[in-house]
Amino acid sequence: MEYKIARIPGDGIGPEISEEAVRVLNRIGELYGHTFTCAEVDAGGIAIDKYGDPLPEEQLEICRKSDAVLLAAVGGEKWDDLPVDKRPEKGLLRLRGGLGLFANLRPAIIYSELKAACPLKDEIVGDNLDILILRELTGDVYFGERGGDDITYSSDLMNYHDYEVERIARLAFESARKRDKKVTSVDKANVLATSRLWRNTVNRVAKDYPDIELNHMYVDNAAMQLVRNPRQFDVVVTGNLFGDILTDEASMITGSIGMLPSASLGSTKLGMYEPIHGSAPDIAGTGKANPIAMILSCAMMLRYSFDLETEAQAIEAAVKAVLKNGARTADIAAGGKSISTREMSDLILAELK
């Protein structure tokens, strides 16, 4: 079968890791008899340079017409002084909003081989830690109205509708049903009106899921509990901003931000798959980027947009195997011997046979 992918290499390390993802997809295609056709889409800084816009409408249109979108990363210092609405990151937000991708699945899974790269003590992390963080992706302060002059006064409106909370809450309970049947909803209901709406709505949805254990946690406490006792979490559901911050924190438990993939899903099969990290300008062009978050994002694409579970698992098993054999990019080498982006993906390709 043929699958149409809109590929967005973006900026910084984006093109480097995106190239490795394509090699892995082509290998899966050869092995299992699929064709993955990639249409290259410009978004982010590169699109600002080419068209003066971080996501021109026709580029978004290519994504709309595809079966899935594979995004590496956007952003960089060169565009940092532009107004917020013209920055590379705005292109990413327009993709998420324009494609209606309200749910961002960020699985924080620790590979036991990588325990040395995790800054927490072994007894805190234990074995097989597996947390699924569900981040709401098209609401909150990211999409509220902005105002002010940036010099004497500024404002960003944090807002949520009940239906936005309800759909992500349902997904959290449904996901928990297939896992350890526990949902932790994270908010700041002791201060924020949007969080009170969040909590009330989650409680209402919970009535349909009596088999799932639900607890609520304030976001400041959740940030602390993630490093104190990450094993207490199964599915975590939270708003856009809190989810952004907590997932970077959770990624370190897995050894590096270079390990965490994500799936951004809406109400159709068209999803966007993106590592949680950024364009890492500090290591762009050095061959040091870890391609694993990007490659695992391809596995999520095969699973959620194409229903190719066997193929998704083949990629995940190949990643596990190379880590088991000791392959490490610099970010997960804990000061030991490290290999390049290309060498890491070569090893992953070699495991796919």
Chain residues that interact with ligand NAD, rule: CB under 6 A: 73-76, 89, 92, 257-258, 274, 277-283, 289-290, 293, 331
Shortest Cβ 97–Mn ion spacing (Å): 16
**Cβ distance 37 to 2 under 8 Å?**
yes
Q: How far is CA 4 from CA 32, 36, 47, 67, 237, in A?
A: 16, 6, 21, 5, 31
**Among Mn ion, ligand NAD, ligand IPM, none, partner that 164 touches (CB below 5 to 8 angstroms by kind):** none
Verify whether residue 207 is a known catalytic residue.
no
Specify the DSSP class assigned to residue 84. Answer: G
**Alpha helices (H) in the chain, listed in sequence order:** 14-32, 45-51, 57-64, 88-98, 122-125, 162-177, 193-206, 219-228, 240-253, 292-304, 309-324, 341-351
Binding characters for Mn ion, 224-253, by CB under 5 A (x = yes): --------------------x---------
CB of 62 to ligand NAD, least distance (A): 18
* Active-site residue (options: 188, 209, 273, 304): 188
Altogether, the residues listed in the chain come to a count of 353
231 within 8 A of 184, measured Cβ to Cβ: no
Q: Candidates 89-97, 192-200, 216-224, 314-322 — which segment interacts with ligand IPM by CB under 6 A?
A: 89-97
Q: List the one residue from 92, 168, 263, 319 that touches ligand IPM (CB under 6 A).
A: 92
Beta strands 130-136; 103-109: pairing state: antiparallel
Active-site residue, 142 included? yes
331 marked ligand binding residue: no
Q: How far is the CB of 236 from Mn ion (least distance, A)?
A: 15
Tokens of 324: 């088991």
Q: Is 255 left (phi over 0), alpha (psi -120 to 50) or beta?
A: left
Q: Which of 70, 172, 272, 276 binds ligand IPM (CB under 6 A)?
A: 276
Burial class of 159 by CB neighbour count within 10 A (0 to 12, 13 to 18, 19+): middle
Shortest Cβ 257–Mn ion spacing (Å)? 9
> Is 188 a catalytic site residue?
yes
Structure tokens at 219: 């976001």
Cβ proximity to ligand IPM: between 92 and 186 the closer is 92
Q: Which has the closest alpha carbon to 300: 2, 25, 115?
A: 25
Does residue 4 carry a catalytic annotation? no
Per annotation, catalytic residue among 49, 130, 208, 220: 220
Give the footprint of ligand IPM on residues 238-267 (CB under 6 A): 244
Rg of the chain over all Cα atoms, to the nearest angstrom: 20
| Nearer residue to Mn ion within complex by CB, 195 or 251 | 251
> Under DSSP, is residue 157 helix (H, G, I), strand (E, B) or coil?
coil
Question: Any known ligand binding at 79?
Answer: yes
Q: Which of 53, 156, 180, 244 is catalytic?
A: 244
Site for Mn ion, rule CB under 5 A: 244
Q: Where in the sequence numbering do the catalytic residues fall?
A: 142, 188, 220, 244, 248
Q: Binding site for Mg(2+), residues?
A: 220, 244, 248
Site for ligand IPM, rule CB under 6 A: 75, 89, 92-93, 244, 276, 278
